[in-house]
Amino acid sequence: MTDIALLETVMAEVGAGRRIPYLGPEVSALSGGQAPGTTAELCRRLEAEVRVPRRAAGNLWAVAQYIESRKFRATLDALVRKAFVGRPDRPNPVHDWLASMRVPMVVDTWYDEGILRAFGPGDGDWGLVQGISRAGTHSEAFTAAFDSFGEPVATADPGWKSLIYKPNGLVRMGSSFLLSDADYVEVLTEIDIQTPIPEEVRERRTGRPFLFLGCRFDDQLLRIYARQIAKRSGAGHVALIPGPLTKMEEKFLEEMQIRRLDLPLSALTDLLTVPEG
C-alpha cells in the first residue's frame, strides 16, 4: 500500500472513531496568524523578550524555567500569552474536519485554542481536559476539566461524544499551561504509572491506535509524553513526518512500532479539500 493510500485509510479510521488523532503545533499553524507554530519559534519569541544564558538558549523548557526563576511566573505567563495573542487568519481544515466528525478523542499538544474554536460551544456533546501547572499553588491535581461552554466540571464526562485532551495545557486568560522544567518535574515523576493522564483519556485510547500529525519527536520531553499517552492503546500507530529523521526519532518510531509516512501535512489537507462544482 502506498503512503497516500494508507493515509486515506487511517483518516477514514479517525473519522469512524477507530483511531485517535494526536496533533502537534504544525497542525495549529495551518490557521495562520501570528501565533508560533513550532516549539523552536516559541522559544525564539521568549528569548527575544528576555536574555537567557547560553546553556539554556534554544531549549524551550530551559528558557521558560530561567524566565520563571529570574522574572517570576507571572512574567512567563504574560510573555507566552503575548506570543499567542491575535486570531487566526484562515480556517484550519484539520480542526474543522475533526469537529465536524465529532471524533471520540483528540489529543492536541499545542497551547492554542484553535481546536476549541472549531468545536464551538456545541450542545454539550464535548468537553476538555487539560494539563495544569502547579506553580504558585498547593493543588495536587494534574489536570482540570471543562464542558463545551468553558464551565469547570469535576472530571471528564464519559457521556461526552468528543473529548479534547490538551496535556500541556492552554494559553488563554484564566487557564493554565505547562512549559518550564519545574512544571514538568512532578508530572514526569508520575507519568510512567499514568497518574497525570485522566481516567477518561485512558479509557478512550483503549483499543485505538494513534495518528500523529504535525509533530516531531526530536526532543526527549515530546517523546516521553507521546509514549505515555499512547501506552496501552491499540496497535498500528501511524505518523505523518516528512523529510530526514534524527537518530532518536528513528529509534522512537521503531520502539513504538509507528509506521512513518514521509509526506507533508499538505497531503492530508488535500484529502480534506472538497472540489467545487
Domain boundaries, the chain: 3-32+94-272, 42-83
What's residue 277's pLDDT? 36
Q: Would you state the pLDDT for residue 140?
A: 82
CA 97/CA 162 separation, integer angstroms: 13
Say how many residues make up the chain: 277
- CA dist 187 to 132, 195, 205, 241, Å? 10, 8, 20, 27
Q: Which among 171, 60, 45 has a CA at the least distance from the CA of 108?
A: 171
pLDDT, tens digit (0-9, with 9 covering 90-100), for 158-184: 999 999 999 999 998 788 999 999 999
- Do 154 and 147 meet the contact criterion of CB atoms below 8 Å apart? no
15-51 pLDDT, tens digit each: 999 999 999 999 999 999 999 999 999 999 999 999 9
* Distance from C-alpha of 25 to C-alpha of 36, rounded to nearest angstrom: 8
Predicted local confidence at residue 136, as pLDDT? 66
- The residue with greater pLDDT, 274 or 59, is 59
Q: Which of 224, 207, 213, 206 is nearest to 260 (CA)?
A: 213
Q: What CATH number labels 3-32+94-272?
A: 3.40.50
Structure confidence at residue 175 (pLDDT): 86
| Whether the predicted pLDDT of 275 surpasses 80 | no
